[in-house]
Amino acid sequence: MRVAKKYLSRIMLPLWLMILIFSCKKTDVISQDPKPTDQQIKPAKDPENAKTMGLFIDSWLPKTFMVPGFTQSDIPASAAVTVTVDASEVMTKILPTSFGHNANTWMTPMVTEPVFMNHITNLKPNIIRFPAGSGSDVYFWNAKPGSLPADVPTLLTDKDNTKKDPGYGFGKTNDNWRASLDNYYDVLRQSGSKGVLTMNYGYARYGTSANPVATAAHLAADWVRYDKGRTQYWEIGNENYGDWEWGYRIDVSKNKDGQPEYLTGKLYAQHFKVFADSMRKAAAEVGAKISIGAVMYESEPESWQTNTVKTWNGGMLTEAADKPDFYIVHNYFTPYEQNSTAAVILDAALSQPAKMMNYVTQTITSSGAAVKPIAMTEWNMWAKSSKQQVSNVSGVFAALVVGESLVNKYGLAARWDLLNFWADGDDHGLFSDGNEPNVAKWTPRPSFYYLYFLQKTIGDRLVKSVVQAGNTAIKSYASTFSSGEANVTLVNISNFSQSVEVKFENLKKGDRYYWYSLEGSSDNGEFSRKVLINGSGPLGLAGGPSDYMTLKAKSALTKNGIRVIIPARGMVTMVVDK
């Protein structure tokens, strides 16, 4: 027995040591990714504000994340793709003006539509442009229907020298199909938004008074007086380089101040200065702060385009000098009226914002002008014929455009538009117009939900994020909150799901992370008209879940790793606790 006990003790001692060693090694494995101490965290520092954001920086506000209701959820055991976020490397502040939208004059009085007002208040667009689009150049803010000024022709000259009714707009209406100017102001007030107002520049061209430029500028100045400081951002005209705009071509026989038949960038700039001087004088009279934008062409002109387009930027920038406070660009990114695939649409969202910004800033510099803030006051797509504009892919497109507008430091971005025409799915509207078969008016389209959850979870500073080399499917936009949390929005442009692990640097993570997963359904090929959010979808043929405001986030513990599945052509946007 003594021999046996002695032998046993010799066996047990190494086993005990082995257990101790194993325990130490297990501890070592866990400690490889410890929670960082304050000394290990590199502090974040705001970079110098980009000149292309400029005055819009004043709209920035710190954000506090509100922890949502959540459901404990499983996560993948491993991930094929890694995204690394460095919370200390701030790229830019995230401006509220990046999430804007366009209203228009024909979308009912708006404030009389409680379903719409509820959705738009929930969305928090921050910026709503009006009267927007080509209608701005035939809009008389202080006139009633049937009461045009005496110097306004009943018919206007189009690009083909044909006389047409331009569909004049009026600010003083009581019609049930269109909004008055005061209706618009009420929408801003009730939704907590600010305005972008587009002046009727076309009137300076087609007006028949002795001095149509001064007359049109006075009309704009009177609007500034009426506005009384409610609006900071004002545009002079809409896409006036375009041959589709009223005022591009005029009947010179009716003109009394010697203007040429066709508009040029130089002439526009001469008129812009008259508008700006009158409007700034009016602003001073009412104690208002206003900023005035000038129209630019957004991309390299092509050989087939008009001489007005080809010479617009050079003539406008040289003549306008330092008078504009900001420059305006528009872009409907995809090839014009083509039946574009999802891949073409999403590639355009990723490539065109940078291409446009590079072109515009280089054009400004080469003209000897100072770089000013850039406002993209209209954006959407031209894709048509497969219901692309009302699809889940349009939602993914929208998230990418906003993300790229942040990366490329636009001062303002506003989607076209809130309500349009069904046109069998070739409809830019964020909401159904009521002519969509078996879909109620004001039903939000998929883009609404992508933009709602993007803004709900995004912070107030964009920070550096890097997707693992070799992966071209996942696009990442990371941000931090002033309240201490971190966000990353992951967009999958491929047609198959992707498993992703997110690793944070220079962030003291909390115990939990929360996420919302958005994806299309199985209807209508690659252009599903539905969006599923954390598995919850619409009851009808299109749109998303009606309970989006109270929809619970998915959640998991950070100690097990931060991993998620990004659906095919979908988005996951998450927030990590502080």
Which residues, 6 or more positions from 426, have their beta carbon under 8 angstroms from its beta carbon?
384, 385, 387, 389
> Given a cut of 60, is residue 437 above it in pLDDT?
yes
Cα–Cα distance, 547 to 71 (Å, whole number)? 15
Q: Of 125, 197, 139, whose CA–CA distance to 430 is shortest?
A: 125
| Segment 409-422 mean pLDDT | 98
Which CATH number is correct for 62-94+461-576, 2.60.40.1180, 3.40.718.10, 2.40.50.180, 2.60.40.10? Answer: 2.60.40.1180
Burial code of 127-144, b = ≥16 C-beta within 10 A, e = fewer?
A: bbbbbbbbbbbbbbbebe
On whether the CB atoms of residues 485 and 535 are closer than 8 A, the answer is no
Q: How many residues are given for the chain?
A: 578
pLDDT at residue 37, as a whole number: 62
Q: Is the CA virtual torsion 84, 343, 299, 259 positive or negative?
A: negative
Cα–Cα distance, 490 to 517 (Å, whole number)? 10
Categorize the per-residue pLDDT at 365 as very low, low, confident or very high, splitting at 50, 70 and 90. very high
Helix (H, G, I), strand (E, B) or coil at 325: coil
Q: How many CB atoms lie within 10 A of CB 377?
A: 26
pLDDT digits (tens, 9 = 90+) for 262-285: 999 999 999 999 999 999 999 999
pLDDT digits (tens, 9 = 90+) for 145-198: 999 999 999 999 999 999 999 999 999 999 999 999 999 999 999 999 999 999
- Count Cα neighbours of 52 within 13 Å in the Cβ-side half-sphere: 26
Domain ranges of the chain: 62-94+461-576
Q: Which helix (H) or strand (E) holds 491?
A: strand 486-492
Q: Of 444, 441, 341, 356, whose CA–CA distance to 397 is shortest?
A: 341
Cα–Cα distance, 98 to 401 (Å, whole number)? 10
- Count Cα neighbours of 315 within 13 Å in the Cβ-side half-sphere: 18
Q: Of 205, 92, 142, 181, whose CA–CA distance to 463 is shortest?
A: 92
Cα–Cα distance, 559 to 556 (Å, whole number)? 9
Q: Of 510, 482, 466, 467, whose CA–CA distance to 36 is shortest?
A: 510
DSSP state of 147: -
If one compares 308 and 3, the residue with the highest pLDDT of the two is 308
Q: Of 317, 239, 337, 223, whose CA–CA distance to 275 is shortest?
A: 223
pLDDT at residue 38, as a whole number: 59
Cα–Cα distance, 6 to 348 (Å, whole number)? 78
Query: Rounded to the nearest 10 degrees, what angle do helices 342-366 and 392-407 cross at?
Result: 30
> Given a cut of 60, is residue 352 above it in pLDDT?
yes
Cα–Cα distance, 119 to 134 (Å, whole number)? 26
On whether the CB atoms of residues 104 and 414 are closer than 8 A, the answer is no
Categorize the per-residue pLDDT at 17 as very low, low, confident or very high, splitting at 50, 70 and 90. very low
Helix (H, G, I), strand (E, B) or coil at 84: strand
| Segment 438-444 mean pLDDT | 98
Cα–Cα distance, 42 to 86 (Å, whole number)? 9
> Given a cut of 70, is residue 406 above it in pLDDT?
yes
- Count Cα neighbours of 492 within 13 Å in the Cβ-side half-sphere: 22
- Termini Cα distance of the chain: 61
Cα–Cα distance, 185 to 170 (Å, whole number)? 15
